[in-house]
Amino acid sequence: MAKAVIVYATFNGYTRKMAEAIGEGLMDAGIEVKSIIASKAKADDLDDADVVILGCPTYGRNLLYGMRRFLLEMEKADVKGKIGAAFGSYEWSGESVSKMDDKMRYRFSMDMVEPLRIIGAHPTGLKDSNEFGKKIADRIKIGGI
């Protein structure tokens, strides 16, 4: 069974809800899911992952500290060529999602799904997150994992 690891940071909890909805979309499609809070995640948590999904909201036009730390920690992981995806909630600028997506795409050479940005607590945000999980699962199936 293919395995997805979701590493996320949150301050007020909405990005955790997004992570849960994405995880449900993946599990409904038969993918094993492990979710870890960014401040506690380690590089070796990604060892047996077929897919790595990072989530973080934007605060002060930046990532939360836990995700900044994890993006450095990820330098020790072997993720080149793995499927990756970035997501996050925001209200007006939303830089965090492209910061994660850029690093995964260009520094780690991951095979990136187009990212998901949701305006904080938007009424369709969790449904869209669930669909995002299904979309990632489809990419895994096309890749034959």
Which residues contact ligand FMN by CB under 6 A? 10-15, 57-61, 89-94, 120
DSSP designation for 38 = G
Residue of minimal Cβ distance to ligand FMN: 120
Nearer to ligand FMN, 92 or 123 (CB): 92
The residues facing 3 across adjacent strands are 32
Report residue 39 as tokens: 């401040």
Min dist CB 121 to ligand FMN, Å, is 7
Nearer to ligand FMN, 12 or 109 (CB): 12
Min dist CB 65 to ligand FMN, Å, is 12
Min dist CB 48 to ligand FMN, Å, is 27
Nearer to ligand FMN, 70 or 108 (CB): 70
SS3 79: coil
Min dist CB 90 to ligand FMN, Å, is 3
* Angle 23-29-35 from CA coordinates, rounded to 5°: 20
How many residues are present in the chain? 145
Min dist CB 16 to ligand FMN, Å, is 6
Per DSSP, the chain holds a count of helices (H) and strands (E) of 4, 6
Q: Please give the biggest Cα pair distance in the chain.
A: 40
Nearer to ligand FMN, 51 or 129 (CB): 129
For residues 121-137, b (16+ Cβ closer than 10 Å) or e, as one string? eeeebbebbbebbebbb
Nearer to ligand FMN, 65 or 75 (CB): 65
